């Protein structure tokens, strides 16, 4: 290993530590505080390991886990966007691409190309791996909001129809998890934690 290669890898390692400072809208599932992006990415990687049996047959779970670990790295520059703010989400795409260009290119070229390709794949949702990864990314905040009596749904006046649009993305990646998420939405509406 050359010293230049090691230097580039360490520069990337130092940079991605900043993901711990990016605070998301959702709280932890106990409601005690808002989670950060690093916690979110770790949690999704764990979900992929334990819920892999709900992925489409033949899904490369190692690829899914790696994809989930890198999917929010761009938020170091672009910040977190509230998924139900459609205008902000559309504007976020350009900022995230610029962030991906900068951050992944800190790595040696072979690693930069590999991780950037995984990030692009996640964003495109065109493979079983990317659809399953996106499903888990959408499921986690639904679980958190359900367990915190509406959490950010109540705070930002999110409706069941808005949440169900994310459930469609979950079902694309895993029909089983999509069905489960639909049940969570229905239960949250019935309990008064989510507006119909």
Residues 6+ apart with CB under 8 A from 14: none
Domain assignment present for 142: yes
- Closest of 166, 155, 161, 156 to residue 189, by C-alpha: 161
Domain assignment present for 196: no
Domain assignment present for 73: yes
d(CA 147, CA 135): 18
CATH number for position 89: 1.10.3210.10
Domain assignment present for 92: yes
Q: Which domain holds residue 101?
A: 3-190
Greatest Cα pair distance, the chain, in angstroms, is 60
Structural domain count of the chain: 1
d(CA 65, CA 42): 9
Domain assignment present for 195: no
Per-residue pLDDT of the chain (196 residues; tens, 9 = 90+): 579 999 999 999 999 999 999 999 999 999 999 999 999 999 999 999 999 999 999 999 999 999 999 999 999 999 998 888 888 888 899 999 999 999 999 999 999 999 999 999 999 999 999 999 999 999 999 999 999 999 999 988 999 999 999 999 999 999 999 999 999 999 999 999 999 9
């Amino acid at each position: 290993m050359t010293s230049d290669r090691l230097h580039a890898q360490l520069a990337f390692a130092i940079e991605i530590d900043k993901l711990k400072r990016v605070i998301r809208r959702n709280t932890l599932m106990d409601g005690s505080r808002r989670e950060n992006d690093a916690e979110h990415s770790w949690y999704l990687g764990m979900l992929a390991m334990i819920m892999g049996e709900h992925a489409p047959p033949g899904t490369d779970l190692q690829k899914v886990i790696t994809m989930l670990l890198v999917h929010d790295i761009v938020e170091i520059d672009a910040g977190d966007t509230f998924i139900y703010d459609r205008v902000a989400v559309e504007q976020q795409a350009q900022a995230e691409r610029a962030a991906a260009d900068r951050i992944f290119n800190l790595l040696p070229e072979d690693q930069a190309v590999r991780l950037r390709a995984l990030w692009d794949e996640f964003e495109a949702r065109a493979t079983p791996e990317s659809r399953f990864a996106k499903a888990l990314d959408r499921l986690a905040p639904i679980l958190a909001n359900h367990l915190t009596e509406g959490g950010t749904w109540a705070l930002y006046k999110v409706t069941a129809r808005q949440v169900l649009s994310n459930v469609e993305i979950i079902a694309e990646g895993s029909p089983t998890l999509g069905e489960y998420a639909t049940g969570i939405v229905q239960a949250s509406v019935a309990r008064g934690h989510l507006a119909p």
